[in-house]
Structure 1
């Protein structure tokens, strides 16, 4: 990063934070504290009102705002593609905001930059499948849950699990305190404190029904931070399959969530999965057909065999 870029970045950091020490800025920009001192002096000489408090750090004078910044072609393309992504993946509210943002960004770009950004952007496309476009209900739920999170209100919904519980039921009614939303492998997932399980649980929006927002309030725990949250890993069962060479690419491209290792062998692939229940892989294994063989556990081999026998009887 050259000096000009660093000076601009320092002002942006000071705008985002009340007070920053020279040591903090030096660590941020991977330079020396002495260099930061010189940069602050250069900013002051350029008319940026930086205030230094001994023992505390630097801050901007209240009311100071950075004049409008210019974008390079690459930066403009990044922002415009970002608005495309928001329009496709978020709810209608943010979808409309992304369109107005795109218009504003294009309006302030100098004509040469706008033309070049348009030319480059034409070479990219974020393709939404018909299945994603059809997720109207999921987008409606996304907006409702987002509002509930901001207002710290609980929600209730009927939830359908892919695999039945011990009692044989796949559906249950859940009342939860919504903590945050995560876009994972193309699907929106709610992280929430579930009253039924008395613990944090994950819920795919695509499996929700009859969602309603309640007036009951909740308080986000002080020690919960979505950006660093890691769910406990309780996938303790390993499943190994052998894949024939003619469908090896198909299995790799499936990018199954439960995949742990993929090893190349002369006779194909040896793939190891780690799951909570082997049944979580049943549909995938059946979908790959005769091109795969379950090696272990034996109980899952039997489960696949039983399913195939049931299918054969239907034909």
Structure 2
């Protein structure tokens, strides 16, 4: 942090905390107490009304440095919860940035709005706020991939994929040109052009075990826009399930990506799904227990029966 940024940050911190000791500011900005003294003197010479009280610390004159814009309590909650989300989901660099943004937002708020926003925030929270939702290893890959995208550099990854009909993962090495990152259903997905497949493919960061940023550069395809990108829908196989009415809501909540239609009858419900392969829904269907029955395809009925027999033998 350069001198100008630090001096601005000092003013923001003084407005946010009202009274702050030089030692505390030195610790916060990772500099010496003497440097803080020089910054305070420089700010005072520029006309910033900073007052010092021996044994207490420094403070700004009440009403100084009013924000150029104002936020309502609800707008403030939206901004602060946004920083919470960024801190949870992105890599460490943006976690630090989110903390700095949160401090700046709180610093420019009038006392009344800050108190009201804090009261509103107490009524809601993001899950796992105290710890990162995105795993540490995944966060590391996220940072490396993000930089590779910005620098237009290819990456080499070791990717693990579950094989249909096999209780094992297949590991493959891929060299890809990373186009963008998407957070979908709680998972970070890399959209990239795969040299092996010669096409755009999707890779879950959580399934990567190795990642190397290469020196080789790539050009982004003309007209590619991540915001407008829509992958082709290759869910070409159908599954038909009979379900008890009282479990339909649970099925809809947990399988909305695959859900095609729901047909209600007198004492049962028929649910149609579209999938890439029937095995995609094997363990999801098993989680619904005896309240559902697979009607089609027959191959999935047999797989469900095999898994049920395995469970029965264990118990």
TM-score normalised by structure 2 residue count: 0.73
* Partner Cα distance (1:98, 1:92) in 2: 10
Shift of 1:225: 0.5
Alignment match, 2:13: none
CA-based RMSD of the aligned residues comes to 2.3
Contact kept? 1:163, 1:280, Cα under 8 Å: no
Q: Where do 1:173-252 residues align within 5 Å? A: 173-252=173-252
Shift of 1:195: 0.8
Contact kept? 2:87, 2:132, Cα under 8 Å: no
Contact kept? 1:158, 1:172, Cα under 8 Å: yes
Does residue 155 of structure 1 match 2:155? Answer: yes
Secondary structure of residue in 1 paired with 2:162: coil
Deviations 1:191-238 (A, max 9, x none): 000011110000111111111111111111112110000101111111
Does residue 84 of structure 1 match 2:84? Answer: yes
Secondary structure of residue in 2 paired with 1:140: helix
* Partner Cα distance (2:131, 2:255) in 1: 18
Q: Where do 1:25-44 residues align within 5 Å? A: none
* Partner Cα distance (2:239, 2:132) in 1: 30
Shift of 1:256: 4.1
* Partner Cα distance (1:129, 1:305) in 2: 41
Contact kept? 2:89, 2:133, Cα under 8 Å: no
* Partner Cα distance (1:151, 1:291) in 2: 52
Shift of 1:165: 9.4
* Partner Cα distance (1:80, 1:141) in 2: 26
Secondary structure of residue in 2 paired with 1:227: coil
* Partner Cα distance (1:302, 1:275) in 2: 17
Deviating more after overlay: 128-137 vs 157-166 = 128-137
Q: Where do 1:47-196 residues align within 5 Å? A: 68-128=68-128, 133=133, 135-164=135-164, 170-196=170-196
* Partner Cα distance (1:159, 1:230) in 2: 23
Deviations 1:74-111 (A, max 9, x none): 22121111111111111111111111100000000111
Shift of 1:171: 1.8
Q: Kindly tell me: are residues 252 and 132 of structure 1, through their superposed partners in 2, closer, same or farther at Cα, counting changes over 3 Å?
A: farther
Residues paired across the two proteins, number: 248
Alignment match, 2:265: 265
Alignment match, 2:21: none
Contact kept? 1:181, 1:189, Cα under 8 Å: yes
Contact kept? 1:190, 1:205, Cα under 8 Å: yes
Q: Kindly tell me: are residues 129 and 170 of structure 1, through their superposed partners in 2, closer, same or farther at Cα, counting changes over 3 Å?
A: farther
Shift of 1:312: 3.5
* Partner Cα distance (1:289, 1:256) in 2: 18
Contact kept? 1:155, 1:212, Cα under 8 Å: yes
Q: Unaligned stretches of 5+ in structure 1?
A: 1-66
Alignment match, 1:293: 293
* Partner Cα distance (1:248, 1:132) in 2: 32
Secondary structure of residue in 1 paired with 2:235: coil
Q: Kindly tell me: are residues 133 and 204 of structure 1, through their superposed partners in 2, closer, same or farther at Cα, counting changes over 3 Å?
A: same
Secondary structure of residue in 2 paired with 1:281: helix
Secondary structure of residue in 2 paired with 1:161: strand
